[in-house]
Copies of this chain bind each other. A is one copy, B any other.
Amino acid sequence: MPTHAIILAGGRGERFWPLSRRDRPKQLLPLFDGRSLLQRTADRIAGWIRPDRVWVVAGAEVMPEIRRQVPFLLESRCLVEPAARNTAAAIGAAAVAVSAVEAQAVLLVLPSDHWIPDPELFREDVERAAGAAQGLGGLHLFGIAADRPETGYGYIERGAEVPGWPGTHRVVRFHEKPDPERAIEYATRPEMLWNSGIFVWRASAILDAMRLAVPGMAPLLSELRAAVNQDAERARPQTQEALARFFVRSPSESIDTAVLEKHAETYVAPARFRWSDLGTWVAWGEHLPAGADGMRCRGSVVADESRDCIAYSEGGLLALLGVRDLIVVRMGDVTLVCDRNRAQDVRRLVRWVARQGDLEEYL
């Protein structure tokens, strides 16, 4: 039951702008102790998954930096997306590529930008889920106990534990991102878990599920498989070309809505490891020590009579006077000043800036 890891590193981290920029997305930034989230993701699995079983999917523009940051990655395990196509296509392509090497493989699908400080617990949880994915079949995902009324995530309603598979529960239902009122209710119900975006399944299981659930996907997957098989022993020029064709023609959908929510046999494992997707500046701020006035600052920041702000400055001084509940980030030639409750909307702001045309240089 060899486990292969698929690291999804194609994200742009728009909600982390202006720290994350197009050529330096969030997962490649040295946010903690000089190592990036991608490096910490690779560190987390390096002790127990062989290098030739670690795969990464990302765009061509960031692949050189990814390989610089994670030197053990093999070139043949780096799958280039010519255009961002969300998680369904990336996972489908990786499942085909892994299958060609190891037909019985179990896949651990990992976002590259999550914070998980308990590598041992993580490994135990993954190994248990991999056992269930192998023995029980189906699609497995990790759920996170909600510790606040979060409106930014989808929720999974956990059902009964599966007899003989401790820690593996049936999924009763997937729930969309709730409104604030409903989020408060969910936070009081222990069966409501956040969808972590970390998945475990057999390569064959996800490919079968994808063929069933995503219209038009079956021929694309078959065509990719044929090219990859032909290419298996050679210098893989066809694989990269076939990958490019596959991504361009694939629908841009998330694996959650395109496959998981439609699939009959999904399971959720409540994570015992701590987890944060560091999805916004507020989530990041929670990992900084807070001053007595609730200020969480990093870099060259001076603050006078200010409270409950998250402030980050690189390459210049940030001076705050008499302000509260702000996110202030100064990075290179951009300064963001944002209400603390609007952290989710930074992505929208970035997309708006992109539409202005003459502000491209700041993205």
Contact = CB atoms under 8 A, between A and B. Distances in A.
A235 interface: no
A337 B333 contact: no
A74 interface: no
Given A18-B319, A321-B338, A339-B323, A302 B356 contact: yes
A328 B321 CA distance: 10
A321 B339 contact: yes
Interface in A283-342: 300, 302, 304-305, 313, 315-323, 326, 328, 330, 332-339, 341-342
A330 B332 CA distance: 12
A334 B321 contact: no
Contact of A321 (B336, B356, B362): B336
Interface stretch (A93-101, A129-137, A214-222, A344-352): A344-352
Contacts of A318: 334-335, 337
A352 B304 CA distance: 9
Nearest to A318: B335
Interface in A214-268: none
Given A352-B304, A356-B302, A346 B317 contact: no
A338 B352 CA distance: 25
Contact of A353 (B319, B334, B359): B319
A352 B302 CA distance: 10
A352 to B, nearest CB: 7
Contact of A319 (B305, B321, B337, B339): B337
Among A315, A322, A339, the most chain B Cβ lie within 10 Å of the Cβ of A322
Main secondary structure of the interface of A (DSSP, over half): strand
- In the complex, the count of this chain's copies comes to 2
Given A302-B359, A317-B362, A337 B341 contact: no
Nearest to A302: B353
A208 B336 CA distance: 56
A334 B346 CA distance: 22
Contact of A330 (B304, B305, B315, B335): B335
30 contacts: A18-B317, A300-B359, A302-B356, A304-B345, A304-B349, A305-B342, A315-B333, A316-B333, A317-B333, A317-B359, A317-B362, A318-B334, A318-B335, A319-B334, A319-B336, A319-B338, A319-B349, A319-B353, A320-B337, A321-B336, A321-B339, A321-B342, A322-B338, A322-B345, A323-B326, A323-B338, A328-B335, A328-B337, A330-B330, A335-B335
Given A333-B315, A333-B317, A359-B317, A322 B304 contact: no
A356 B303 CA distance: 12
Interface in A1-37: 18
Given A321-B339, A330-B330, 4 more contacts: A305-B342, A318-B335, A321-B346, A322-B342
